Amino acid sequence: MTNYSLNSQKQQTSLQLSKFLDFIRGDFPKFILAIFFALITSTIDILTPYSIAIALDNYIANKNLDGLLNLILLLAVAYLVRGVTSFLQTRIMGHVSQDTLYKLRDSVFKKLQELPISFFNQNKSGDLTSRINNDTDKMNTFLSESIIRFLASFFSIIGIGVFVIYLNPKLGLITVSVSLVLYFISAILAPIVKQKNKEKLNAEGNYSAQVQESLNNFRVIVAFNRKDYFKEKLAEINEKSYKAGLWSSILNEVFKPIYDFAANFAQVIVLIFGIYFISKGELTIGFLIAYISYTQKFYDPLRILGVIWGNIQSALAAWSRLQDILNLKSNLQVIKNK
């Protein structure tokens, strides 16, 4: 008999994630447009501190009110454009995520209809329901919230890093140096977070399956007076789900305090070296303020990455579970009409 146990499927999520693009291929132009709007938003964020530095050093120091008013007007227009592009990218990705959610659930359900009875004998219906509802919803959240925020943060980090090094190589390198430590920390923790998220999803699926089984067989349970057995069984699975969810929640949030500390530490370093460079005549007060702002803007996206990194790992774990179903091959014979 063919083994249709979903727990036996090999996980190759990183290699198979490209297949997920098939579900958004029809909305790919919209996706590219959303990325374009994210680029505009990131560019405005990058240029704003530089404009403030120019205002302090050139216009305020020289009492040039006309130039200052023009710059303020330009910044107001830029912020207005930023608000519009941010709204448009959110709305576009909302449509893309809902379309993808529909296609994904439809594909999973059609695959289930193609599979033989032996598959349903080997897998609990509650777990299958969890995969169709919860796991696909994780992918929806990934598309609607995480991926664009991830890309926008990535653009901001790269753009600000290049820009500050271009303006002042010494202080620029100091600004971004702490991020290298964060990269290695993230690389070490990422697979652990992904694994814990997968364990959480599996535990939720088992809990859902046990609840559904108990409800479906409730009359039999009462007739044979087995309520205590099912109560203990459900309590055991609930405890496993609780522990898996607890570890998943802790690890999903572990990046945020690490990134917060790195951002604050980097600002202190930039301030110390900035004052030193001012004393040497290598930096102006306006650009020191700009670099402090750039440090904040450089590490804010890293904070965002720390927050959404757990969501991304959760989506990868959910996609791995969905792939368990989508990759199955049916041994049912197809009868062709003559």
pLDDT of residue 210: 67
Q: Tell me how far apart the alpha carbons of residues 171 and 284 are, in angstroms, rounded to a whole number.
A: 12
Q: Tell me how far apart the alpha carbons of residues 146 and 133 are, in angstroms, rounded to a whole number.
A: 19
CATH topology (fold) of 15-326: ABC transporter transmembrane region fold (1.20.1560)
pLDDT of residue 14: 46
Per the CB < 8 A criterion, the answer to whether 153 and 302 are in contact is yes
pLDDT of residue 301: 77
pTM: 0.63
pLDDT of residue 109: 80
Cβ-Cβ contacts under 8 Å for 167 (sequence gap 6 or more): 50, 287
Enumerate the domain spans of the chain.
15-326
pLDDT of residue 64: 80
pLDDT of residue 81: 92
SS3 annotation, 268-320: HHHHHHHHHHHHCCCCCHHHHHHHHHHHHHHHHHHHHHHHHHHHHHHHHHHHH
- Per-residue pLDDT of the chain in tens (338 residues, 90 and over written 9): 455 556 544 444 444 556 777 777 777 788 888 888 888 888 888 888 888 888 887 888 778 888 888 888 988 998 899 899 988 888 888 888 888 888 888 888 887 777 777 776 676 666 677 777 777 787 877 777 777 777 888 888 888 888 888 888 888 888 888 777 777 777 777 777 767 777 776 776 676 666 666 666 656 666 666 666 666 766 777 777 777 777 777 766 777 777 778 878 888 888 888 888 888 888 888 888 888 888 888 887 777 776 676 677 777 777 777 887 777 776 655 444 44
Taken in order 266, 269, 271, 277, the sign of the CA dihedral is negative
Tell me the one-letter amino acid at 221.
Answer: I
| Assigned token pair, 328 | 């199955």
Tell me the one-letter amino acid at 249.
Answer: S
pLDDT of residue 119: 72
SS3 331: coil
| Assigned token pair, 127 | 């777990």
pLDDT of residue 311: 72
pLDDT of residue 192: 76
Cβ-Cβ contacts under 8 Å for 206 (sequence gap 6 or more): 124, 126, 127, 237, 240, 241
